[in-house]
């Protein structure tokens, strides 16, 4: 009986202890489990490092580790997007811009000079052979009016022609007289001079040269006493009542200029005076040295203020291209050397911002902004200011950033890059030979160790891939994993061997090798393009 009582007391004691302390312990365990997410630490210089020991050092640079920013509100760990609180975005001066289309506008500054109007240039010639007896214009720059006497020429040929005409008149032979008169007309003898010759009956061997047009003497070709032939140029004249303003436009500015545009310009010698003209001609040829094309406009010059040789400059504030395009400020774009990226932003609950990296293809530069050809769509929001702070947060969070961006299979920009590399390769003899070798059964593939797993469609491959650092390891593995059909990929830095499990029905060792070579790493089957290799960071250079 006492044994039963003792046992009952023990059971009651145990039950009471559980009731008193068990709930507290359970609450403690529940509380612990709710907050048991272990903090992950990374290196600010090598964000691929992930450790759980706060006292550990970075194995690459021995720097102290810092905690990785937590992902609140939502993106999964395997997702490339990440979030920032409204407070963090405000501290980083992050500004969000909604993408919209508009007409590309650009401020153009053109430089050139004033030139004589080629259509109003005139060469004053003589129409008869002889010796220059007198010159009535003696220096360049002199103003000449049409009909003015420019020179007097002694011409034996004229004397002979006049004598023949007078003899024909004496003989009163109409046919011979008419022929002699036509010869005088051919020598540019006027009707009044012929009539005077008939009345006086005296031959005059001197012939005056009259100006055929108005203009300024820009070139004097002959001097007094020189013998000239018929057709010899005495002076070059230029009518400066209108002049040409000829500017040099860079080839990148040509799409913003068209015939018929009204452009204002200034000259250095007349500060404050603005002259205007319509674009009449744009050269179809670009100078190979200056990379510019001539743009010409005509300007009235009534007071002769504009003189050939003056320097001129034009400033066009709102030069446009017809049609709308997506335009972003340059502060929104990060240039990696190989590609250009922006951060697309979305607002989540509690004013939290979600960011994801987007690769874009850029068009022409518009000063402080740039045209985006593809990669972003109207209505989306991008980071317009503070983009470097956002990219730094992406690196610390271990997400895709401009420093570890790997082209994804099927990505538009990746396709463009492959086409560009292919175009470069096809122009090189070595690349052509390499492509021919790839069309034949690869010897390197015979050396590749493949073994079937339990699933007959899953294969294993050990591929030799060159690299130099942990960043190379991350890029090589990420590139392999991005290929559809690749199950796992692990690269060993010391042995330079990449072990891959892949689905034989979806990809091949050749495709894996080419994808890795496309991002700058030599394999035993493919060699990376030199331009892509040279764009790798300095720590990733593995070639001697």
Same domain membership, residue 530 and residue 425: yes
Q: What are phi and psi of 11, to 5 degrees?
A: -65, -45
As a whole number of angstroms, the distance between CA 231 and CA 233 comes to 6
pLDDT at 162: 80
pLDDT value of position 245 = 93
Contact between residue 257 and residue 108 where contact means Cβ atoms under 8 Å apart: yes
30 and 50 fall within a common domain: no
Model pTM score:
0.50
For the segment 307-317, the average pLDDT, to the nearest whole number, is 89
Going by C-alpha positions, the residue among 297, 281, 301, 298 that lies closest to residue 239 is 301
Decide which of 223, 238, 253 is a domain's last residue: 238
Using the structure block, give the residue that is written with the tokens 């335009």. Answer: 327
Using the predicted structure, report yes or no on whether residue 306 has a pLDDT greater than 80.
Answer: yes
Q: What backbone phi and psi angles, to 5 degrees, belong to 75?
A: -90, 140
Q: Which residue has the tokens 């001066």?
A: 93
DSSP secondary structure, 404-426, as one string: S--PPTT-HHHHHHHHHHHHHHH
| pLDDT value of position 151 | 87
Question: For the chain, what is the radius of gyration of the CA atoms?
Answer: 44
Residue 419 has pLDDT above 50, yes or no: no
Residue 44 domain-assigned (yes or no):
yes
What pLDDT is stored for residue 231 in this prediction? 83
Confidence class for position 6, pLDDT limits 50, 70, 90:
low
Over range 458-463, report the average pLDDT: 86
Q: What is the CATH number of the domain that holds 125?
A: 2.40.50.100
Q: Taking a C-beta distance cutoff of 8 angstroms, is the pair 282, 258 a contact?
A: yes
User: Does one domain contain both 99 and 26?
Assistant: no
Q: In what order do the strands lie in the sheet with 233-238?
A: 121-125, 233-238, 215-220, 143-144
Residue 273 in domain? no
pLDDT in tens, 273-299: 899 889 999 999 999 999 999 999 999
Of 366, 396, 426, the last residue of a domain is 396
Look at residue 259 and tell me if it is in a domain. no
The answer on pLDDT for 15 being more than 80 is no
User: Which has the closest alpha carbon to 502: 471, 462, 475?
Assistant: 462
The Cα 447–Cα 33 span in angstroms is 51
Check whether residue 468 and residue 367 sit in a common domain: no
Structural domain includes residue 199: yes
Q: Does residue 302 lie within any of the structural domains?
A: no
Residue 339 lies in a domain: yes
Average pLDDT over residues 97-105: 84
The answer to whether position 73 is within a domain reads no
For the segment 324-359, what is each residue's pLDDT rounded down to a tens digit?
788 888 888 998 777 888 999 988 877 788 888 888
Domain match, 26 and 52 both? no
The residue whose two tokens read 């990505």 is 411
CA distance 333 to 341: 6
Residues 527 and 457 in one domain: yes
Mean pLDDT, residues 410-427 = 44
User: Same domain, yes or no, for 331 and 440?
Assistant: no
Residues in CB range of 211: below 8 A, 6 or more apart: 124, 144, 145, 146, 147, 148, 149, 150, 237
- Considering its fold, how many domains does the chain have in total? 5
Mean pLDDT within 85-97: 84
pLDDT at 396 over 80: no
Considering the domain architecture, whether residues 88 and 178 belong to the same structural domain is answered as no
Contact status, residue 207 vs residue 130, Cβ threshold 8 Å: yes
Residue 450 scores a pLDDT above 60: no
In the predicted model, what is the mean pLDDT of residues 247-275? 89
Tokens of 356: 């994801």
CA 102 to chain centre: 19
C-alpha closest to that of 305 among 241, 262, 214: 241
User: Which domain CATH number covers 349?
Assistant: 2.40.420.20
Torsion of CA 86, 92, 97, 99, to 10 degrees: -100
**Run of H or E including 208:** strand 206-210
Residue with the larger pLDDT of the pair 407 and 270: 270
If pLDDT is split at 50, 70 and 90, which confidence band does 1 have? low
pLDDT for residue 49: 76
Residues 351-395: tens digit of each pLDDT: 788 888 888 888 877 878 888 888 888 889 999 888 888 888 888
How does the average pLDDT of the chain come out, rounded?
78
Give the ranges where 148-301 is alpha helix by DSSP (H). Answer: 156-171, 174-186, 191-200
Answer yes or no: is 218 within a domain: yes
Question: Does one domain contain both 479 and 527?
Answer: yes
**Based on the domain organization, do 417 and 536 belong to the same domain?**
yes
Give the CB-side neighbour count of residue 239, counting CA atoms within 13 A: 17
> What residues contact residue 234 under an 8 Å CB cut-off, 6+ apart?
124, 125, 126, 150, 151, 209, 220, 221, 222, 228
42 three-class SS: strand
pLDDT score for 69 = 53
What mean pLDDT do residues 116-143 have? 85
Per-residue confidence at 113, pLDDT binned at 50, 70, 90? very high
Per-residue pLDDT band for 311 (boundaries 50, 70, 90) equals: very high
Q: Which pLDDT belongs to residue 283?
A: 93
Q: Answer yes or no: is pLDDT of 406 > 70.
A: no
Kindly report, residue by residue over 211-234, the tens digit of the pLDDT: 888 888 888 888 888 888 888 888
Question: Which residue shows structure tokens 């990440």?
Answer: 82
Domain housing 372: 82-104+324-396
β partners of residue 170 = none
Higher pLDDT, 13 or 21: 13
CB atoms within 10 A of CB 130: 22
CA 418/CA 407 separation, integer angstroms: 10
What pLDDT sits at residue 2? 59
Regarding whether 534 and 417 lie in a shared domain, the answer is yes
Exposure b/e, 401-433, CB count within 10 A at least 16 = b? bbebbbbbeebebbebbeeebeeeeeeeeebee
End-to-end CA distance of the chain: 92
Statement to judge: residues 86 and 53 lie in one domain? no
User: What 3-state DSSP class applies to 437?
Assistant: helix
How far is 331 from 289, CA to CA, in rounded Å? 32
How large a percentage of the chain has pLDDT more than 70?
80
Band (pLDDT 50/70/90 cuts) for residue 44 is: low
Per-residue pLDDT at 433:
41
Residues paired with 484 in a beta bridge: none
pLDDT at residue 271 greater than cutoff 50: yes
Separation of alpha carbons 109 and 503, rounded Å:
58
């Amino acid at each position: 009986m006492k044994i039963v009582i003792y046992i009952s007391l023990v059971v009651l004691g145990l039950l009471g202890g559980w009731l008193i302390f068990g709930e507290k312990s359970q609450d403690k365990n529940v509380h612990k489990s709710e907050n048991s997410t272990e903090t992950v630490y990374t290196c600010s210089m090598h964000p691929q490092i992930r450790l759980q020991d706060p006292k550990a050092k970075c194995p690459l640079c021995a720097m102290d580790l810092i905690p990785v920013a937590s992902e609140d509100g939502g993106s999964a760990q395997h997702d490339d997007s990440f979030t920032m609180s409204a407070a963090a975005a405000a501290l980083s001066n992050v500004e969000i811009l909604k993408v919209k289309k508009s007409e590309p506008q650009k401020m153009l500054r053109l430089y050139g000079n004033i030139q004589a109007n080629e259509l109003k240039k005139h060469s004053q010639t003589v129409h008869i052979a002889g010796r220059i007896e007198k010159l009535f214009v003696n220096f360049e720059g002199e103003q000449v009016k049409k009909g003015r006497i420019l020179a007097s020429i002694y011409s034996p040929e004229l004397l002979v022609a006049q004598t023949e005409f007078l003899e024909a008149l004496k003989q009163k032979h109409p046919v011979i007289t008419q022929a002699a008169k036509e010869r005088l007309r051919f020598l540019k003898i006027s009707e009044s001079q012929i009539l005077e010759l008939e009345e006086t009956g005296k031959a005059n061997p001197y012939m005056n040269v009259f100006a055929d047009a108005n203009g300024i003497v820009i070139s004097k070709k002959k001097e007094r006493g020189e013998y000239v032939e018929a057709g010899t140029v005495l002076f070059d004249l230029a009518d400066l009542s209108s002049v040409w303003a000829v500017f040099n436009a860079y080839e990148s500015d040509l799409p913003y200029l068209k015939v018929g545009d009204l452009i204002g310009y200034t000259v250095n010698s007349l500060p404050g005076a603005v002259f205007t003209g319509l674009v009449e001609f744009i050269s179809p040829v670009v100078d190979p040295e200056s990379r510019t094309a001539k743009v010409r406009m005509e300007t009235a010059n009534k007071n002769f203020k504009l003189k050939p040789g003056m320097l001129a400059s034009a400033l066009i504030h709102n030069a446009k291209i017809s049609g709308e395009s997506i335009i972003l400020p340059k502060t929104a774009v990060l240039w990696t050397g190989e590609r250009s990226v922006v951060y697309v932003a979305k607002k989540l609950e509690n004013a939290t911002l979600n960011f994801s990296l987007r690769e874009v293809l850029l068009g022409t530069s518009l000063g402080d902004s740039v045209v985006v050809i593809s990669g972003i769509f109207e209505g989306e929001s991008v980071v317009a200011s503070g983009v470097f702070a956002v990219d730094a947060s992406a690196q610390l969070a271990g997400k895709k950033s401009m420093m570890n961006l790997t082209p994804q299979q099927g990505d538009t920009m990746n396709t463009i890059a492959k086409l560009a590399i292919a175009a470069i390769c096809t122009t090189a003899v070595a690349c052509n030979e390499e492509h021919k070798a790839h069309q034949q059964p690869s010897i390197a593939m015979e050396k590749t160790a493949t073994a079937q797993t339990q699933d007959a469609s899953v294969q294993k491959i050990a591929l030799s891939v060159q690299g130099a650092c942990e960043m190379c390891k991350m890029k090589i593995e990420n590139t392999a994993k991005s290929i559809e059909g690749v199950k796992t990929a692990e690269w060993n830095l010391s042995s330079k061997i990449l072990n891959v499990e892949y689905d034989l029905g979806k990809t091949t060792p050749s495709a894996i090798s080419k994808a890795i070579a496309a991002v700058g790493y030599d394999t035993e089957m493919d060699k990376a393009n030199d331009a892509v290799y040279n764009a790798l960071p300095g720590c990733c250079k593995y070639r001697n």
